[in-house]
Amino acid sequence: MKKSAVVVVVVFALLMIGIFAFGGSTTLTKPITVYMVPKFTGAPYFVACEQGAMRAVKELDELGLPVKFHFMGPSTANTEKEIKMITDIIALHPDALLYSSNDFQALIPVLKRAKAAGIKVVGFDADVADPNARNLFVNQATFSGIGETLIDLVARNVGSDAGIAILSADPNAANQNAWIAAMKHAIAKHYPKMHIVTIQYGKDLPGPSFQAAQTIINAFYPKVKAIVAITSVAFPMAAQAVWQAGLKGKIYVVGLSTPNDMKKYVKNGVVKDVVLWNPINLGYLALYAANDLVRGMMISNVNGTKYIGGGKLGFFKVGKNNTILLGKPFIFTAQNINQFNF
């Protein structure tokens, strides 16, 4: 349930009046420290998440709610390095930790240690299997929403009986596995003649993703009429592989990535549709959520339903397993993609 930006400003103004009227400046308004740890730093997607978080930090500073913000993570997707960094952060005793998990299971113990140390733990982009390992998860879009959108686009462009290939990151990648499950469900429910020919993995790295796309083309075309690439690294590599193979217009390539990474492929006609959400807003909301948790600023209605204040984005309901939803997936096309710069 979202409110307008005007209402948000009024609520924050009343909050600030209350804080100072009751002498709360030494508690609610003291500086807090927040670390943001993405899956890896070497991708425009996570750079956009950082930009959003920094926007939130600036706004909170202007409201008298200072945040010391740190952005750090592995340069490439590496679960062991991510765990090591989080372990090192725990030793620094920050107020909050924002994470995007490289592995659905592996990060659970270290996140539980962070919680036990009194750190507010907030996931964004990619969660872990155990909701007890964190305080809150900011979901960019529902898995079913993403899965159905991708499959609907395939059906619309190459037919409801198409053979498709999926290009993912890693067999243990939480988000990607959930999207694959959602795509399978959408196929079974809406397009029973559509079928998945193969699932390949590119480790969220450009080289292996390109090679996996080439494997799909060399081993499975023409059975494969569409490649669905479900990582921001894999999608441009799949488009590049189709372009180099001279199969533009013969293999439909769709997936999840940032508009800046896909503009050239939309321009040259290899890609028609790019599915995503706004990662700037995702980082922005995650930072606000961490701030609200640390400062005890969550609100509840008369029924006890809790809400997180998301700054200019409005208010967000805290749902099952302490999850909040940013919104619906967005489709970038040749008609609108140049309007976005991330």
Say which CATH number the domain at 150 has.
3.40.50.2300
Q: Which two tokens stand for residue 254?
A: 């769709």
Q: Is residue 293 part of a domain?
A: yes
Whether residues 53 and 73 share a domain: the answer is yes
Identify whether the C-beta of residue 229 lies closer than 8 Å to the C-beta of residue 237: yes
Structure confidence by residue, pLDDT tens digits, 294-335: 999 988 887 889 999 999 999 999 999 999 999 989 999 999
| Same domain, yes or no: 126 and 10 | yes
Examine residue 338 and state whether it is found in any structural domain, yes or no.
Answer: no
Of 276, 295, 311, the residue that ends a domain is 276
pLDDT tens for 262-273 read 999 999 999 999
Same domain (yes/no): 238, 299: no
- Is 337 part of any domain? no
169 shares a domain with 125: no
Shared-domain flag, residues 286 and 258: no
Q: Please classify residue 80 by burial: count the beta carbons closer than 10 Å to its beta carbon, then call 0-12 exposed, 13-18 middle and 19+ buried.
A: exposed
The answer to whether residues 226 and 165 touch, using CB atoms and an 8 Å cutoff, is: yes
For residue 2, is pLDDT > 80?
A: no
Q: Is there a single domain that holds both residue 118 and residue 162?
A: no
Please report whether residue 108 resides in a domain: yes
* Contact in structure between 209 and 176 (CB atoms under 8 Å): no
pLDDT at 27: 60
CA separation for the pair 316, 1 (Å, rounded): 6
336 domain residue, yes or no: no
Please check whether residues 52 and 19 belong to one and the same domain: yes
Report the distance separating Cα 73 and Cα 83, nearest Å.
10
Q: Could you give the number of structural domains in the chain?
A: 2
Cross-strand partners of 229: 167, 255
Residues 9 and 156 reside in one and the same domain: no
Tokens of 114: 């962070």
d(CA 116, CA 94): 13
- Nearest-angstrom CA–CA distance, 153 and 157: 6
pLDDT tens for 213-247 read 999 999 999 999 999 999 999 999 999 999 999 99
- Whether residue 45 lies inside any domain: the answer is yes
What pLDDT band is residue 187 in, cutting at 50, 70 and 90? very high
Q: What is the pLDDT of residues 85-133, one digit of tens each?
A: 999 999 999 999 999 999 989 999 999 999 999 999 999 999 999 999 9
Rounded to 10 deg, the angle between the 44-62 and 279-295 helix axes is 40
Looking at per-residue pLDDT, the higher value among 26 and 177 belongs to: 177
Question: What are the strands of the beta sheet with 96-99, ordered from one edge?
Answer: 67-71, 32-37, 96-99, 120-124, 136-139, 323-325
Are 268 and 150 members of one domain? yes
Is residue 185 located within the same domain as residue 296? Answer: no
State the chain's maximal CA–CA distance in angstroms.
Answer: 70
Do the strands 306-309 and 315-317 form a parallel or antiparallel pair, or are they unpaired? antiparallel
For residues 173 and 266, membership in a common domain is answered with yes
**Are residue 127 and residue 33 in the same domain, yes or no?**
yes
| Residue 47: CA count within 13 A, CB half-sphere | 11
- Specify the pTM: 0.80
Packing angle, helices 259-267 and 234-244, rounded to 10: 20
Could you tell me the residue range of the domain that residue 269 belongs to? Answer: 143-276
